[in-house]
Chain A
Amino acid sequence: MYDLKALYEARSVEDAVRLRLEHPQAQIIAGGTDVLVQMREGRRAGAELISIYGIDELRGVSLDGEGNIRIGSLTSFSHITKDPIIQKYINVLGEAVDMVGGPQIRNAGTIGGNTCNGVTSADSASTLFAWDAVIELTGEKGVRRIPIQEFYLSAGRVDIYPDEIQTAILIPRSSYENCFGHYIKYAMRNAMDIATTGCSVNVVLSGGGKTIERARIAYGVAGPVPLRAVSAEAAAKDRPLTEETAEAFAQAVLKDIRPRDSWRASKVFREHIAVELAKRCLRESVRLAGGELA
């Protein structure tokens, strides 16, 4: 039994926008895999909910006219993992969201909910950061698109206006073309866990596969929100495919990440793991791109 004051079910995006304006105090609920848990814990006891779960137009993955990947915000984790467009162009995202919780959670949980929660540990977030994803929000005045890095404001807070819902996540064509990536979720067990640290790396090779043209790396749980390790990216850009490059890349992440001490893990432990993950993710990304570290 949930301590629930009211539930408003949106039938369309426009309906959701109207409900948002009518009930400014209400919480948006999609798959419910986070909101219901919080209600049970008493954190959102007595909440009013706007359910957007019935808006089927927000489900599915497609390519737009310019070749950008469009992921509807209500697309479940399991559908993302199985989607042919995802598998062809950004398979790492499908792999990352396949590490969320267990099978039931992945069937119910949505990528929109995962990002709108604003938590640093979301398994989709580091990969979306590392691939320069764009968040699409729809409100009274129409559609607004912002880079995912601007969407995350602070721990648990994202940039959604009072009239908006998130409607899609876009991966620009320039971001995924010729790009290969790998994600490692580091957790205390192999299922049903939240990342202690998550690391997502992707590379574009050039020079006949001997040079890193571009490397991008993002972390979850290395700061209050997911973050890009820009020093590491600079340390690898246009560098030859060598173990020294990988080492320099990995060590440079320490300039960028800001993990904290908590009972879940110490700062030094998280830093140690972050460096190791950067190295391993880079190595695997290079391998997927057809290269090899010398």
Chain B
Amino acid sequence: MSGSVGESKIRVDAFDKATGRAKYTGDLCDQSALWVQIVHSTVAHGIVRAVDTSGAEKIPGVVKIFTCFDVPENYFPTAGHPWSMDPHHQDVADRLLLNRHVRYYGDDVAVVVAEDEVAAAQAARLVKVEYDGLPFVLDVQKAMEPDAPQIHEDFPNNILAHTQIRNGSYEEACREPGLVKVEGWYDTPTVQHCHIENHICTAHMEAGRITVTSSTQIPHIVRRICGQALGIPWGKVRIIKPYIGGGFGNKQDALYEPLCAWLTTRLGGRLVKIDCSREETFVSNRVRHAIRTHIISWVRPDGTFAARKIECFSNQGAYASHGHGVVAKGMGAFPQIYPCPNVEGDAYTVYTNRPAAGAMRGYGIPQAMWAGESHLDDVAKALGRDPVEYRRQIVMPKGYVDSFSKNENYYDTFRQVMEKGAAAIGYQEKRRAYQNQSGPVRRGIGMALFWYNTAVWPISLESCSCRMVLNQDGSVQVQTGETEIGQGCDTAYAQMAADAIGIPFENVHIVSAQDTDVTPFGTGAYASRQTYVGGFALRQTGQILRDKILSCAADLTRQMRENLDLADGKIVRITDGRELMDLGELAAEALYSTANSRHLTAESTYQIKNNAYSFGCTFAEVEVDIPLCQVKLLNIVNVHDCGRLINPALAEAQVHGGMSMGIGYGLTEQLLFDEKTGRPLNNNLLDYKLSTFMDHPRLQALFVENPEPTSPFGTKALGEPPACSPAPAIRNAVLQATGVGVNAAPMTPHALFAAFQEAGLL
């Protein structure tokens, strides 16, 4: 087998993207498109009494205005989960295309359709909406109180879901004599994905069917949801997904595709375009769940846990979207990463009048690691232990098997990544040097681990379908339903396909765009699944194509099939290594044969009933300017065990991006809301402090390559893991520098001002 996997191949889309040739949804939309401006709610909670469109309709260029009184009463779910045939496992259907009962400031009330952007904006400003205001609630625990405003009818106390962990007996175990109790509350903020391309979609009709082109991670799922939202057969909808400018989970949801699809049906099938502004993207798409976590650890003097308790309160915002899956995944990590026989856990997902929270890179794990890894340093501090040495004692051992997922920790990954990270950053020397500092500017070093598991089995379906088509020159088109969203999966797929078939990397043509009319079924980019699950389908389909090619080769060369191999695009006789035929010759011969014409193709589906742990850590070194309440990040290192690296350069880039996201999560990013009105205060890229290049030190990405035994290519998750541990690592470095443990992210100067004052440092 030729060896393309493991090499830092140049991205298959690099030149098109760097030169601007790559086409995105906005580039593909022709000038005839009608412009849609959504009229958003200006109250956080209320009932729309009336919408006056008379002024707006007078604006030249306005084609049509639709309001919440015009849409079908057809509730639909939006989460980008595989559909479940089990009604109890289906996503909550709490959405309408436009809403009379508005549940957050920014909810969708009406749409203006106009000939151009300016007319649509002018008219939208003139649409007058009258509301009967209702009380609103932004805080997750206040929303659970008995007198809190009720946001959805069927969910008492606004609790969308509540799940539990009951391992052993917490109540009994914590009565053991001599235990140290360490308790803390940890908060994470509402943040947004901030992908560079805002969500955009277009829709038109042809031959009685709707075609939607969308910046989405999940074309096949969006087709299903459009069908559900419009109440039409799913085959009446065709979704095209071209290149997209990032998604990070926001586009793992049906966003405005159902509305866009509905609008074209009401406009004679004309092409309509919904192009979100950055301000809308912040508020009216999806955000990351803000999760408040309460942890109590009962620790023996030797450091082992006797009992642990965790409570998680996940702020769902106004609509269910991904709902409870996010906090459930986060809480699921708690009993595993530091195994303890007696664990009591409760996770609540609660509706509030904030923007709807959905999937975002890490899916509950960044929140869980902020809480759990901050707490772990608090425990180490209480015991007077070094945080790394302490973790080495209690972290998940090699051979650990999770009883639910059957995931196995095949290697001693946690200890390996800690060793590598500590050596790279000089942890021990620095930890020692930074003890007992005084003065206004102090340094500290800290770290955090993260737990992650690849893909969604056994919670949901994992399958991947693949099609391969051989060309006359011996090159192969490869199609899957899994999507390139900037992360580089097209390139990784080309590498795996090349090895699976036995052809050079350059001879694989990945069909990047998905079109649900022609692309094999796949559920798309999420859960850091694609390289892992795609590997199975690529291996299997590649084998089918190889078999067909070798059978054909046996015919054409009159050699025994078992004596033939396909390597590097050549038919080789194994017995003497002679190259008998080029694959191009074979393909042309097969296709144009007047005796026995064959078009060599392969297509198959592989259902994956495995899952794989993917662990790692972050080490961070900071300098804290106490009087200025500022943290300067001096050094940061991420170490990952994502199995064998398919493409080392792309893997490193993936880690850099996640680290950047984690740095912002820890230090600067949060979506703020006005307590009096529920209005978002900073829904733009100036006031929302995404960290910039100038805020980063050199980002160092390291790997421990333990091949994943369940994967045909030895690989496992890397998409989301890099964002999971930087924030608590930085927090723990600040803890060492100042002695102050900040329990709410982000650690902005405002937060540090309050914390340092309380600690008597200011």
Pair B695/A272 contact, Cβ less than 8 Å = no
**Residue-by-residue, is B358-400 near A (CB-CB < 8 Å gives 1, otherwise 0)?**
0000000000000000000000000000000000000000000
Pair B750/A276 contact, Cβ less than 8 Å = no
**Chain B residue nearest in CB terms to A266:** B750
CA distance A190 to B697 in the complex (A): 12
Pair B692/A1 contact, Cβ less than 8 Å = no
Pair B691/A276 contact, Cβ less than 8 Å = no
Minimum distance in angstroms from A286 CB to a CB of chain B: 18
Q: Confirm or deny: A189 has a beta carbon within 8 angstroms of a beta carbon on chain B.
A: yes
B691 CB contacts on chain A under 8 angstroms: 189
**Chain A residue nearest in CB terms to B279:** A41
A264 CB contacts on chain B under 8 angstroms: 687
B195 CB contacts on chain A under 8 angstroms: none
Pair A1/B117 contact, Cβ less than 8 Å = yes
Given A1-B116, A263-B672, A272-B753, A191:B692 Cβ within 8 A: yes
In A109-141, the 8 Å CB interface with B consists of none
Q: Confirm or deny: A194 has a beta carbon within 8 angstroms of a beta carbon on chain B.
A: yes
Q: Confirm or deny: A45 has a beta carbon within 8 angstroms of a beta carbon on chain B.
A: yes
In A146-180, the 8 Å CB interface with B consists of none
B750 CB contacts on chain A under 8 angstroms: 265-266, 269
Minimum distance in angstroms from A41 CB to a CB of chain B: 9
A272 CB contacts on chain B under 8 angstroms: 753, 762
How many pairs, one residue from A and one from B, have CB atoms within 8 Å of each other in the complex? 57
**Chain A residue nearest in CB terms to B754:** A269
B627 CB contacts on chain A under 8 angstroms: 276
CA distance A3 to B117 in the complex (A): 9
Given A263-B672, A265-B750, A269-B750, A276:B686 Cβ within 8 A: no
Pair A188/B122 contact, Cβ less than 8 Å = no
Minimum distance in angstroms from A34 CB to a CB of chain B: 12
Instruction: Name the contact of A273 in the complex, choosing from B628, B689, B693 (C-beta under 8 A).
Output: B628
CA distance A46 to B59 in the complex (A): 13
B686 CB contacts on chain A under 8 angstroms: 192-194
A263 CB contacts on chain B under 8 angstroms: 672, 674, 681-682
Pair B689/A189 contact, Cβ less than 8 Å = yes
In B109-141, the 8 Å CB interface with A consists of 116-118, 121-122, 125
**Chain B residue nearest in CB terms to A265:** B750
Pair A192/B692 contact, Cβ less than 8 Å = yes
Pair B628/A276 contact, Cβ less than 8 Å = yes
Given A1-B116, A3-B118, A269:B749 Cβ within 8 A: yes
CA distance A110 to B653 in the complex (A): 36
Q: Confirm or deny: A186 has a beta carbon within 8 angstroms of a beta carbon on chain B.
A: yes
Q: Confirm or deny: B85 has a beta carbon within 8 angstroms of a beta carbon on chain A.
A: no
Minimum distance in angstroms from B212 CB to a CB of chain A: 23
Minimum distance in angstroms from A273 CB to a CB of chain B: 7
Q: Confirm or deny: A42 has a beta carbon within 8 angstroms of a beta carbon on chain B.
A: yes
A269 CB contacts on chain B under 8 angstroms: 629, 749-750, 753
Minimum distance in angstroms from B181 CB to a CB of chain A: 34
Instruction: Name the contact of B694 in the complex, choosing from A42, A186, A190 (C-beta under 8 A).
Output: A190
**Chain A residue nearest in CB terms to B35:** A1
Pair A1/B118 contact, Cβ less than 8 Å = yes
Main secondary structure, interface of A, reads loop
Q: Confirm or deny: B668 has a beta carbon within 8 angstroms of a beta carbon on chain A.
A: yes
CA distance A272 to B681 in the complex (A): 24
Given A263-B681, A276-B628, A193:B689 Cβ within 8 A: yes
Q: Confirm or deny: B748 has a beta carbon within 8 angstroms of a beta carbon on chain A.
A: yes
**Residue-by-residue, is A12-56 near B (CB-CB < 8 Å gives 1, otherwise 0)?**
000000000000000000000000000000100110000000000
In B624-676, the 8 Å CB interface with A consists of 627-629, 668, 672, 674
Minimum distance in angstroms from B430 CB to a CB of chain A: 23
**Residue-by-residue, is A253-272 near B (CB-CB < 8 Å gives 1, otherwise 0)?**
00000000001111001001
Given A42-B125, A263-B674, A276-B627, A191:B681 Cβ within 8 A: no
Given A265-B750, A269-B753, A190:B118 Cβ within 8 A: no
CA distance A190 to B753 in the complex (A): 19
In B36-50, the 8 Å CB interface with A consists of none
Pair B692/A188 contact, Cβ less than 8 Å = no
Minimum distance in angstroms from B237 CB to a CB of chain A: 30
Instruction: Name the contact of B121 in the complex, choosing from A42, A186, A190, A276 (C-beta under 8 A).
Output: A42
Pair A189/B125 contact, Cβ less than 8 Å = no
Pair B693/A191 contact, Cβ less than 8 Å = yes
Minimum distance in angstroms from B126 CB to a CB of chain A: 12
Pair B122/A189 contact, Cβ less than 8 Å = no
A196 CB contacts on chain B under 8 angstroms: 749
CA distance A273 to B626 in the complex (A): 11
Pair B121/A191 contact, Cβ less than 8 Å = no
CA distance A45 to B668 in the complex (A): 32
Instruction: Name the contact of B748 in the complex, choosing from A188, A191, A194, A273 (C-beta under 8 A).
Output: A188
B682 CB contacts on chain A under 8 angstroms: 263
**Chain A residue nearest in CB terms to B749:** A188
Minimum distance in angstroms from B576 CB to a CB of chain A: 62
CA distance A117 to B668 in the complex (A): 28
B668 CB contacts on chain A under 8 angstroms: 188-189
CA distance A82 to B681 in the complex (A): 37
In A192-221, the 8 Å CB interface with B consists of 192-194, 196
CA distance A264 to B687 in the complex (A): 8
CA distance A1 to B753 in the complex (A): 42
**Residue-by-residue, is A220-237 near B (CB-CB < 8 Å gives 1, otherwise 0)?**
000000000000000000
Minimum distance in angstroms from B751 CB to a CB of chain A: 10
CA distance A186 to B630 in the complex (A): 10
A193 CB contacts on chain B under 8 angstroms: 686, 689
A189 CB contacts on chain B under 8 angstroms: 668, 689, 691-692, 694-695
CA distance A265 to B748 in the complex (A): 11
CA distance A91 to B125 in the complex (A): 46
**Chain B residue nearest in CB terms to A276:** B627
A194 CB contacts on chain B under 8 angstroms: 686
**Chain A residue nearest in CB terms to B628:** A276
A-B complex: 9 closest residue pairs judged by Cβ atoms: A190-B694, A191-B694, A1-B117, A191-B692, A3-B118, A188-B689, A276-B627, A263-B681, A190-B695
Besides A189-B691, A190-B695, A194-B686, 10 other A-B contacts (C-beta < 8 A): A46-B122, A190-B692, A192-B692, A193-B686, A193-B689, A263-B682, A269-B750, A272-B762, A273-B628, A273-B749
